Chain A
Amino acid sequence: MCKMCSFAYTAVAVSSLAASQVTASPVSTQKTSRIELPIAAAVKKIEKPTVVEPDWLKQQRAALAAAASQRPRSGVSRSVTYSVTTRGNITASLAEFKTQANQTLNSSNGWARLGISFSEVASGGDFILVLSEASQVPSFSPAGCSSDWSCNVGNYVIINQDRWLYASDAWNSSGGSLRDYRHMVVNHETGHWLGHGHTYCQVAGQPATVMQQQSINLQGCTFNPWPKDNELHSPRLGI
């Protein structure tokens, strides 16, 4: 019996080992990312929530647009002065910066639609337009400014040199031109100086407001370098 048993045990033991040889290796994140995880699957199904604009909001927008359309498009009613300065190591052309910023500020598509004329002065002025080396931007406000983006602190309208030269990933991937980015960033930061806060994309597919953080994410809107009708007011200047 024992010879029989030994024979059977050996046969079983050999076959059991042979069947189970699989090499285990540490799993890579790439392999894990191929696995559909429960929350990832749930998140995939959740659409971005958007709120249907209530009637009162539509009415307010329409009123603002109507008021904006009645403002003088030609003829200056208010003069704003600014000076231009730099901070840190500047490699971009300062002359080009000055010229293009002034064109943006006084463009008939821009804040000039409020009836403002922007004039550059040698020093001082109502605000100071700064072209800053990226790493120097936080020196204006370590908590409020990042070396990645442009910023407004008090009377300083700070343009990040990296953005001025290269725009941003979100902008470039949406097919926006560098010149339009420059219009947008000057209008956006000047918009803060004029008293505007940030806005968000309301209707996907529609042009973004200039006060939306288009450098970071278009949030489904299309890029737009210029203030929209409903942005044409200035809490700082009271117009």
Chain B
Amino acid sequence: MMDKSMNSTKSPSKKTLFTKKKVLLIIGAAVVIILALYAWLSISYWNAYADDLKSTKLASSQVSKKITTGSSLDEIISSSKDLKEDSDKISDCQPKWYYSWQTIFSGPKKQLADCRDLVGNLSQAQSPLDDLINFEDYQQKLANIVSSLPDGQLKATDLAGHQKALQGLEKELESLAKNSDYPEISKAAADTLKGYGTSIAGLIEADKKKDMAGFEKSAGDLSNAHKKLQALNAEESKTYTKLFDTLLKKLKPLS
């Protein structure tokens, strides 16, 4: 009875020991799994960090390449927007706090340094990038106005309608030019519209008075107003060249 009772007390303690070992084993395995998971997540994180740097550098080189090889303006603007988007992603270079301690190792440390260099250089290009994107937006709106100008053969009976449409365009241009940073091109556009407006008004007046000389003069003025569109072209080309040059200069350290 006594032996039995002693046996019965020894057996539970062996069981406890086994259970403790089992628990330790499970905890150990869990720690190993967590560490392995953390390591895997770290690698993925730094790979993604490197991808962002790579993508931003690539986007910057794409902008330069597209400008220098004369790609279409749409492509240049699209790559400029990509570059802006990419540079926003890496704007502070700061790794997540639970990975940031890893910058004591040479790989992540170098990536952090690369990122800071890149962001430093990109900060110089931000303003020219914004200027180019904003100018493009402005030019598209101006082009819409220009493409609404009366063209081809105009009937004298339709001149009043053209005059009204031109007045609308002039107002549209005025409000557009108010918020523009490009007074030269706004002025060239305004001069062109004014030339169209004045000559059409002259034609209407001459038509009313049946004034041959006045009609011929205003028809000539209208033809000259059309020629003034070339000045607008020249101003546009000049501004784009300037913006491209500035942007390329700022992107050069990134190449």
Q: Do B110 and A9 have beta carbons less than 8 Å apart?
A: yes
A interface footprint on B229-255 (CB within 8 Å = 1, 0 otherwise): 110110011001100110011011011
Cβ contacts under 8 Å, B51 to chain A = 12, 16
Given A31-B70, A37-B236, A49-B154, is A198 in contact with B220 using a C-beta cutoff of 8 Å? yes
Within 8 A of B (CB), among A9-42: 9-10, 12-13, 15-17, 19-27, 29, 31-42
Total number of B residues with any Cβ neighbor in A under 8 Å? 81
Chain A residues lying within 8 Å of B69, measured Cβ to Cβ, are 31
Tell whether A39 pairs with B233 under 8 Å between CB atoms, given A48-B151, A56-B210. yes
Q: Which residues of A contact B252 (CB under 8 A)?
A: 24
A contacts, CB < 8 Å to B: 1-2, 4-10, 12-13, 15-17, 19-27, 29, 31-43, 45-52, 54, 56-57, 60-61, 197-202, 219
Interface contacts beyond A43-B229, A49-B150, A50-B222: sample of 16 additional A-B pairs, CB < 8 Å, sorted by A = A1-B38, A17-B57, A19-B57, A21-B255, A22-B65, A32-B70, A37-B73, A37-B139, A37-B233, A40-B236, A46-B149, A48-B223, A51-B219, A54-B215, A60-B210, A199-B220
B54 interfacial contact with A, CB 8 Å: yes
Q: How far is the CA of A40 from the CA of B232 in the complex (A)?
A: 8
Q: Does chain A have a CB within 8 A of B23? A: no
- Are A27 and B50 neighbours in the complex by a CB distance under 8 Å? no
- A36 lies within 8 A of B210 (CB): no
Contact, CB under 8 Å: A219 / B35 = no
In the docked arrangement, what's the CA distance between A60 and B42, Å?
90
- Given A20-B57, A48-B226, A50-B153: A27 and B67 interface contact (C-beta under 8 Å): yes
B139→A39 contact, CB < 8 A = yes
SS class, residues of chain B in contact with chain A: helix
Contact B233 A8 (CB under 8 A): no
Q: What are 10 A-to-B residue pairs whose CB atoms are below 8 Å?
A: A5-B105, A9-B107, A9-B110, A27-B244, A36-B72, A42-B143, A42-B144, A43-B229, A49-B153, A197-B217
- B147 near A42 (CB under 8 angstroms)? yes
The reply to whether B111 and A51 form a contact with Cβ atoms under 8 Å apart is no
Which of A24, A39, A51, A219 contacts B248 (CB under 8 A)? A24
On whether the beta carbons of B236 and A39 are closer than 8 Å, the reply is: yes
